[in-house]
Each structure stands twice: as structure tokens, then as C-alpha cells.
Chain A
Amino acid sequence: MAKAPLATGKFLLIFLSWWAIWAFLQISLLVGFGLSFSAALTDSLVSNTLVALCCAFISNNMQYYLPKKERYWYILFISLGLSGIILLACKAILVPLLNDKAPSGGAAAFDYAAFFSKSWAVRYDIVFLQVGCMSILSVLWYSSEEEQENRQRRNDAERLSKEAELFKLRQQLAPHFLFNSLNSISALIGSQPEQARKMIQQLSDFLRNNLRKEEQQWVLLSEELQYLELYLDIEKVRFGHRLSTEVSCEAGCMACKLPPMLLQPIVENAIKFGLYDTTDSVCISIKARVEGSYVRIDVQNPFDPETSRPKKGTGFGLTSIQRRLYLLFARPDLLETKVENNLFTTTVKIPQQP
């Protein structure tokens, strides 16, 4: 609900000042027309107070009912009607109050009732202008408040859905990986319990890391590579000598930062793609280097160009990474793939905050 402008001290002060100015002007005007000062004061105070009450009423009530654009003509009728009521009230109060009063200073008796009937049209005009202006100002005020509130709400909704989506994209832990790893542990328990215990430790560390990460907290490349090492070690137990890895990283990269859990799905994809597309042993290489204000990471895996066709752009389960990068940086060009002979390269570039 928008706040009524008169509820704030600043606007109330402006409002009261205006009331005082109008009242003062009306007194001087009436004195100019020959009214005694006390009569002019009473007239001015009564009529301006009524107008002020009416304006406060309008300004307050528009927060509950705001005419829609196509009903703006309501404002005109409301203003006309209210102005009429004010005038009638003025007449009802002022005429009995001032009519028979003895004129001060021995001047001729002033017929107030006649004066009021002569001046009613001008009075109505002025009151209508005042009330009308107040109505229009109120409409503008509340519409802009409403607009602002809507915008705020939309922004909030967008932010929430973006966060939810990012969360979901990060949480896509491959169940296939988890269950196969557990199966490997189960196999090791009988023959190599020490090895089984080590793998349980690695798997727990991996899962814990996976659960702990928050989107906003970027991690050091060195930490992310350690985490990746865990993952690769587990995969090596699963696939035995078929899988080997090469990780190289320029000295300057280690202090670079990147969003958590971004590298692992890329490597996971490379492993899956590499291991399931050839029957030979597979070497996955991961290279990181600084390139301008970016850190650039290349992940390379072999594949068989005879039997699989990497789709143009980003195929092979990289869509969710692409989406995440877009949500984080609003840029579609940070993830690229390249095919060279029988090597498939995925390149990701992360802008570094200066």
C-alpha cells in the first residue's frame, strides 16, 4: 500500500503553508470588497478550512481507490460534486453567522447574504480549482507509487526465479556417477578394504563440497582444481587404467576466481563423452591460463568423429553450463566448443573482477 503523502511531515508542512497562503489572500480580497476584517477572517478561515479538510480527505482516500486510466473522468465529477458540497456548507455556516452582525466602525450594515449570492460563482471556481488540483496530484502520486511497487515486485520475482534456476543448475549431480561409485566401493570392500575406505572418504569430500557451495561465493581456481582432483580420482578408480588426466595451470591463474561448480560438469561431460565414445584409453586434459581480464580454461577429450557428430555450438550436455553463464554474466559467448581431428575441446572464459 502506498503511503499517503500527507502522512509525511514534509508534505503536511507544504499543505499547511498553502492553506495559510490561500487564507491570507482571501482575507485581503474580501477586505478589498468592503468586508470588515473580522468578517473576512471568519469567512476565509471557514471556507479554506473546509477546502483543506476536503483535500485531505481526497488525498487520503485515493490510496484505497485509484481510478483506472479509462475512468479519469470520475475525478472531474468527484471534484465538481465536492466543490458544490463545500460551497453549500460555507453558505450554511457563514450566512447565519455573519449576516446580522453589526458592522464595525459605524459603517452601513453590510448585507452578507447578498454578497455571498453574488460571489458564489467565483467561490465555486476557486474551490473547484483547488479540489481538482488536489485530486490530480493525488492520482499522479499514487499511480507513480503503484508503478514503483510493481517494478519492485517484478524485480524481486525475477531475482528469485533466477536464483532458483541457478540453484537447480548447480544441483544436477549425476546419479549415474553416484551409484556407480557406490558399486565400486561395494566391490572393493571385500578385497581391498583400505582402498574402499579411501574412496568413501573421497566421495564424502566430493559430496560435501557439492552441498556447501553457494552461487555468490566465488572460489579460487586452485580450490576448484583440488576439488576436481577428487572427482577425477574417483572416476579413475571406476574406470581403472582406461582414464588418465593432465592438469596444467599457468602460475598466474591460481589466484583467479570463478563461480563454484562450473568446471566439474564440464569435465564430467568430457569424461562421459570421451569414455563412452571410444573403447581405448582416454586422456582428459585441463589447461588454465590468464587471457586479458579473463581466465580461460580448456578441457579436451578424444572422441570418434566417425560415429558421433558434436552438434554445432554447444551440444553434449553443455546447455546447462551455457545457461548458467548467461544468467551470471548475461553473455552467451563465454562457452565455446571446437572439434579438431578426434579431439573435442570445450573452452570456458570467466571474466575476472578487477
Chain B
Amino acid sequence: MIKTIIIDDEPLARMIVKEYLQSYSSEIEIVAECSDGFEGIKAIQQHHPDLIFLDIQMPKINGFEMLELVETPPAVIFTTAFDEYAIKAFENHAVDYLLKPFNKERFDKSLRKWIDNRPAIPTTTNTEALLETAAESPSQQQRIVVKTGGKIKIIPIEDIHYLEAADDYVKIHTHGGAFLKNRTMSYFEKNLDPNQFVRTHRSYILNIQQVTRIDPYEKDSHLCILQSGAQVPVSKAGYVKLKSVLGL
């Protein structure tokens, strides 16, 4: 039996997926219905579904951000009404998606395709690439979603003091403490606003609004003192970049 979860914030949108799934009752079982991403994550951890139907635009965290936080994401059929960025991401990564409103034929086609190819599709690699593309949408550039001790934390970009490389992760230092995110430094360097965030060092990106002082350190290098008192190293090349962004 295939286990599935429907995640959509609109009750009627969940209802229509449920209705279309009735003809599959011998193969597919709906184990949960969720109305936002937080419920979605919990349900996925609890039920380990094979397939989820996932809406993009949802309260607090969108469908992509929810997937980012799931450790082993299941196969996904995305459902969305209209979202240029999401659709661009789907097309770039050849991911199947349903545009609302969709009819039974279209729904059957997607689901059949997935059922027939099931063992052949490795989900995780594709999902990661998809999420990277999806993260380019303007709404997702306003915040970073992290998981900390089973809780989900949404960090508005303005709250970031600085980022620090930490092995395979990036440590995000904020007013409310530090959080780990499994992304690369170059990912953040590319996606954060270059007028606000500067990579001052191979392992550091800092929010220039937090800078209070720049002190000379050893030969050719500097130290940036932040409002929080934190000291961030600045390399020779980083110092040039920092000066040009600060307009010095």
C-alpha cells in the first residue's frame, strides 16, 4: 500500500485531491492531511509517506521551505495555482506538477506516471537541485528557515549578524543565537543581497548594517567589530570588497 499525505492550506483544494484519490483506494492510502508546512513536517516524520501532494504558497513557510527541512523527503507531486518562480523551477528540473484547477485526467496521468516509474526515480538528488532553484524567488530571499532541536525557526534576513562556514553547514549568527543550515557559503553569497552582505573572508559573510568598527589585525588583514561585540576576520580581498560596499 502506498502511503500519501496531502498538504495544502485551502480545505477545498485538499478535498479535490482526496476525491480524485478515491479511485485508487486499493493502492493508495491517505495517512494525513495538513493545512501548513509545520503540520506537514510533523506528519512526514511520523508516517514516512511514499508520496506527498504539496501546495507551494502556504502560511509561514512555503512548500519548498518545508521540503528543505525534511531529512529524507518523499516523492512529491506539486500543486500550485500560479507562481512563476515555482513553475520555472519545475520546468528546469523536469518535476511533475499540477496547475490548479486540474481535472481528473491530468491528475491520473501524473499519478500513473509516478506509480509506474516508482522504483526508478531517485527523489533526493532531484529535490535538492529543485530547492536551490526555487530559493531564487523573491519571497524566499527575505528569510531563512532553519530547524533547531525539533523546532522550526524563521530568520528574517535583517536579523542575521554574520554567517560562518562550519564543515558541510553554514552557521547563521543572529540576535537570538546561532543556527546551522546545510547550505554552502557560495550559495549564500549568491543569494543574499550583495549591497547588504559581504563575504569578507573565505569562511565569513557579514551584514554590513551590524558593523561598528574595522580594526587592523595582522599583516594585510583586518577585524570587523559588530554591534553584538562579535569579531569577524576580514581578508585582504575581503577588505577591498567591504570598502567598496561601504563606499569608503
The reply to whether the CB of B15 lies closer than 8 angstroms to some CB of chain A is: yes
Identify which of A187, A275, A304 contacts B16 (C-beta below 8 A). A187
Binds B, one of A33-41, A118-126, A276-284: A276-284
The reply to whether the CB of A168 lies closer than 8 angstroms to some CB of chain B is: no
Say yes or no: A183 contacts B60, CB within 8 Å: no
Instruction: Name B154's closest neighbour in chain A (CB-CB).
Output: A307
Which residues of B from 86 to 106 have beta carbons under 8 Å from A? 99-103
Say yes or no: A279 contacts B101, CB within 8 Å: no
Say yes or no: A182 contacts B11, CB within 8 Å: no
Say yes or no: A187 contacts B12, CB within 8 Å: yes
Say yes or no: A309 contacts B156, CB within 8 Å: yes
CB distance from B58 to the nearest CB of A (A): 7
The reply to whether the CB of B229 lies closer than 8 angstroms to some CB of chain A is: no
The reply to whether the CB of B245 lies closer than 8 angstroms to some CB of chain A is: no
Which residues of B from 1 to 28 have beta carbons under 8 Å from A? 9-13, 15-16, 19
The reply to whether the CB of A306 lies closer than 8 angstroms to some CB of chain B is: yes
Say yes or no: B156 contacts A307, CB within 8 Å: yes
User: Given the known A-B contacts A279-B36, A279-B38, A309-B156, are A183 and B13 also in contact in the complex, defined by CB atoms under 8 Å?
Assistant: yes
Number of interface residues of A (CB under 8 A): 28
Say yes or no: B100 contacts A183, CB within 8 Å: yes
Q: Which residues of A contact B60 (CB under 8 A)?
A: 276-279, 304, 307
Say yes or no: B143 contacts A307, CB within 8 Å: yes
> In the complex, A237→B16 CA distance in Å?
14
Q: Which residues of B contact A176 (CB under 8 A)?
A: 57, 81-83
User: Given the known A-B contacts A175-B82, A187-B15, A191-B15, are A277 and B10 also in contact in the complex, defined by CB atoms under 8 Å?
Assistant: no
CB distance from B36 to the nearest CB of A (A): 5
Which residues of A from 174 to 216 have beta carbons under 8 Å from B? 175-176, 178-180, 182-188, 190-191
Instruction: Name B156's closest neighbour in chain A (CB-CB).
Output: A309
The reply to whether the CB of A226 lies closer than 8 angstroms to some CB of chain B is: no
The reply to whether the CB of B194 lies closer than 8 angstroms to some CB of chain A is: no
The reply to whether the CB of A332 lies closer than 8 angstroms to some CB of chain B is: no
Which residues of A from 209 to 267 have beta carbons under 8 Å from B? 237-240
The reply to whether the CB of A353 lies closer than 8 angstroms to some CB of chain B is: no
Say yes or no: B82 contacts A187, CB within 8 Å: no
Q: Which residues of A contact B57 (CB under 8 A)?
A: 176, 276
Say yes or no: B59 contacts A187, CB within 8 Å: no
Task: Map CB proximity to A onto B68-86 as digits: 1 under 8 Å, 0 otherwise.
Answer: 0000000000000111000
Say yes or no: A179 contacts B59, CB within 8 Å: no
The reply to whether the CB of B168 lies closer than 8 angstroms to some CB of chain A is: no
Say yes or no: A184 contacts B154, CB within 8 Å: no
Say yes or no: A239 contacts B9, CB within 8 Å: yes
CB distance from A327 to the nearest CB of B (A): 25
The reply to whether the CB of A341 lies closer than 8 angstroms to some CB of chain B is: no
Task: Map CB proximity to B onto A305-338 as digits: 1 under 8 Å, 0 otherwise.
Answer: 0111100000000000000000000000000000
Residue from A180, A185, A238 whose CB has the most chain B CB atoms within 10 Å: A180
CB distance from B53 to the nearest CB of A (A): 13
Residue from A187, A239, A308 whose CB has the most chain B CB atoms within 10 Å: A187
Identify which of B11, B16, B156 contacts A186 (C-beta below 8 A). B16
The reply to whether the CB of B158 lies closer than 8 angstroms to some CB of chain A is: yes
Q: Which residues of A contact B11 (CB under 8 A)?
A: 239-240
Say yes or no: B13 contacts A180, CB within 8 Å: yes
Instruction: Name A239's closest neighbour in chain B (CB-CB).
Output: B10
> In the complex, A304→B101 CA distance in Å?
31
Q: Which residues of B contact A184 (CB under 8 A)?
A: 10, 12-13
> In the complex, A183→B55 CA distance in Å?
12
Given contacts A183-B16, A275-B9, 8 further A-B contacts (CB under 8 A): A179-B81, A179-B82, A183-B100, A186-B100, A188-B12, A240-B10, A276-B59, A278-B60
Complex A-B: 13 CB contacts under 8 Å: A175-B82, A179-B81, A179-B100, A179-B101, A183-B101, A185-B101, A186-B100, A239-B10, A240-B11, A277-B60, A278-B59, A279-B35, A306-B154
The residues of B with any CB-CB pair to A shorter than 8 Å are: 9-13, 15-16, 19, 35-36, 38, 57-60, 81-83, 99-103, 142-143, 154, 156, 158
Query: Which 5 residue pairs spanning A and B have beta carbons closest together?
Result: A179-B81, A183-B100, A187-B16, A187-B12, A183-B101
